[in-house]
Amino acid sequence: MNDGRKQRDSGSESEEPRDFNEYSFIKETIKEKPVNKKAVMNRIAAIAAGAVLFGVISAVVFAGVYPKVSEKMQENQEPPKVKIDVDEPEENSEDTKEQEPQVTPEVIEVPRSITLEDYTRIYEEVHQIASQPLKAMVTVTGVTKGEDLLDNSYVSYGQSAGVIIAKNSSQVYILTEESAFGKNAEEVQVFFCDGKIAEGSLRKMDRGTGLVVVSVPVKNISKSTQEEIAVATLGNSYSLMQGKPVIAIGSPSGYNEAVAYGNIISVSNKVSVVDAEYNLLVTDILGSQEGSGVLLDTGGSVIGIITQSFGDYSDTMVKALSVSQLKSLLASLSNGEDIRYTGIYGQDVTESVAEKAGIPQGIYVDSVVTESPAMIAGIQSADVIIEFNEKEVMTMQKFSTELQKCNPEQKVPIKLMRKGSDGYVEMEFEITIGIN
């Protein structure tokens, strides 16, 4: 048996291995497909054309959409804050004037009489001084639409002169009077010095003085008008005195684009409004009850805001509020800030008045508005305020400035002197700041 197995094994080992060449029929040679250069170039050209087309479409869409998106974003952004430098009043100016010795004015002999040519030259110089400030003057018109009892449509207008007091990259700010808006004005139109019209909007109003700031978007003003208009220079009115020559421009006599020349005849009159007091500049320039505009000094700077609603109603002489005392208010109105409110009508008690009248120096409270923060706090007529928010306040101007620094609803300490059976005693209250 073993022999048989060995034979079989030896038989299998004797078989020769097969040559794989005999299966050549399944061998395949793979060749790379030749490159079609024309197709490749066409494809590259197609991709490049698509990229160019995409770029063109993107540029067109961007050019059309971006200005609108940018404009919308600018509209939603709050414009930059308007800053108006506030003048500091001269210390003890009133007392200094009273103590100054009377000086006899020197008599100067005029070599010849004034001729008509001299008057002509003077008025030519006046108009030359006013030429630049006139570019800052505008006319503000409020338009009201409605229907009467017979269902007839009508349009009414209010009108007042205005002056450009500030300008930034997005807005032009114009100071005018409440009378410009008539009754419930729905639209505000501003007529610039070149006769062009732009639509504006109410920024803020001060009910005490009747002053209003209107803003006009720069985009509403044509390029030519932007090049023509100017921003008025607000001067310092604290040093004004009787006899000072002044120029009235705007609409002092009720007629637009007027220029009048005269002198200041009084600076001592006061205008008392809620939480503030202003000097009233009275001139010898003939005006009207509907007059408006500004007073200029001989350098062309604005020193007064014409307002005929104060003083004697029958007096048609041009009157103006001292601009230096208004600057803080003008900044607040331009920035759309709420006007802080306590409800106090007061007047200054100077050192000399205090000695004569036997009352403390400070702010004498003439009256308090009913249900105002001051009345709620317990402040009464005849009180003399000496401190507000831990700051000494001896004048209504100082009181008003400190008041506008406070926040609405802020609780502020106020110190005053109140007359009792044994004379004046110091008292302290807490007042909650309101808005007007």
Query: What pLDDT digit, counting tens, does each position of 293-350 carry?
Result: 999 999 999 999 999 888 776 678 999 999 999 998 999 999 999 999 999 999 999 9
Looking at the predicted structure, is the pLDDT value of residue 375 above 80? yes
Distance CA 165, CA 213 (A): 9
Contact residues for 236 (Cβ-Cβ < 8 A; gap 6+): 87, 301, 303, 324
Burial of 135: CB neighbours in 10 Å, binned 0-12, 13-18, 19+: middle
pLDDT for 99: 40
Phi, psi torsion values for 28, nearest 5 degrees: -140, 135
Using pLDDT thresholds of 50, 70 and 90, give the confidence band for residue 134: very high
Distance CA 80, CA 168 (A): 7
Q: Which two tokens stand for residue 102?
A: 């009377």
The alpha carbon dihedral of 358, 364, 366, 369 has a sign of negative
Q: For the segment 383-426, what is each residue's pLDDT rounded down to a tens digit?
A: 999 999 999 999 998 999 899 899 999 999 999 999 998 899 99
Indicate if the pLDDT at residue 30 is higher than 80: no
* Contact by Cβ (8 Å): 140, 175: no
Which pLDDT score is estimated for 100?
43
Average pLDDT over residues 214-218: 96
Whole-angstrom distance, CA of residue 285 vs CA of residue 252: 9
What is the number of alpha carbons within 13 Å of residue 355 lying toward its C-beta?
A: 3
**Which residues, including other chains, have CB under 8 Å from residue 11's CB and lie 6 or more apart?**
none
Q: Which long-range contacts (CB under 8 A, 24 or more apart) does 370-374 make?
A: 372/341, 372/342, 372/343, 372/344, 372/434, 373/341, 373/342, 373/343, 373/431, 373/432, 373/433, 373/434, 374/342, 374/343, 374/344, 374/431
- pLDDT number for residue 81: 86
- Please tell me what DSSP assigns to residue 234: B
Pick the CATH number of 340-435 from 3.50.50.60, 3.30.479.30, 3.20.20.150, 2.30.42.10: 2.30.42.10
Beta bridge partners of 159: 141
Q: 260 or 19: which carries more pLDDT confidence?
A: 260
**Residue 12 pLDDT exceeds 80:** no
What is the pLDDT, as a whole number, of residue 184? 75
pLDDT at 130: 95
CA 64 from centroid of its chain's CA atoms:
32
Calculate mean pLDDT across residues 108-131. 82
For the chain, what are the domain ranges? 134-228, 340-435
Predicted confidence (pLDDT) at residue 20 exceeds the cutoff of 80: no
Query: Considering the chain, what is the average pLDDT of its residues?
Result: 83
Cα end-to-end span (Å), the chain? 130
Please report the pLDDT score of residue 118 as a whole number. 85
Residue 343, burial from CB neighbour count under 10 angstroms (0-12, 13-18, 19+): buried
Q: What is the 3-state composition of the chain as percent helix, strand, coil, each rounded to the nearest 5? A: 30, 35, 35
In the CATH scheme, what architecture does the domain 134-228 have?
Beta Barrel (2.40)
Are 216 and 189 within 8 A, CB to CB?
no
Residue with tokens 């409020």: 142
User: Is 227 a residue whose pLDDT tops 90?
Assistant: yes
Q: What is the largest CA-CA distance in the chain?
A: 170
* 116 — pLDDT class (breaks 50, 70, 90): confident
DSSP-assigned letters across all residues of 70-104: HHHHHHHSPPPPP--PPPPPPTTHHHHHHHSPP-P
Quote the pLDDT of residue 68: 56
Q: Give the pLDDT confidence score for residue 221 in this predicted structure.
A: 96
Mean pLDDT along residues 188-204? 94
Q: pLDDT higher for 162 or 25?
A: 162
Give the pLDDT confidence of 65-90 residue by residue, as tens digits: 555 555 555 555 677 888 888 887 76
pTM surpassing 0.85?
no
Q: What is the pLDDT of residue 39?
A: 66
Kindly provide the residue ranges of all beta strands, DSSP E only, lying in 352-409, ordered along the sequence. Answer: 362-368, 384-388, 391-392
pLDDT for position 360:
95
pLDDT confidence of residue 185: 79
pLDDT, average across residues 256-276: 92
Distance (Å, whole) CA 164 – CA 192: 10
CA distances from 315 to 1, 243, 271 (A): 157, 19, 15
Which pLDDT band holds residue 260 (cuts at 50, 70, 90)?
very high
Residue 119, pLDDT score: 82
Say which residue, 362 or 49, is predicted with more confidence.
362
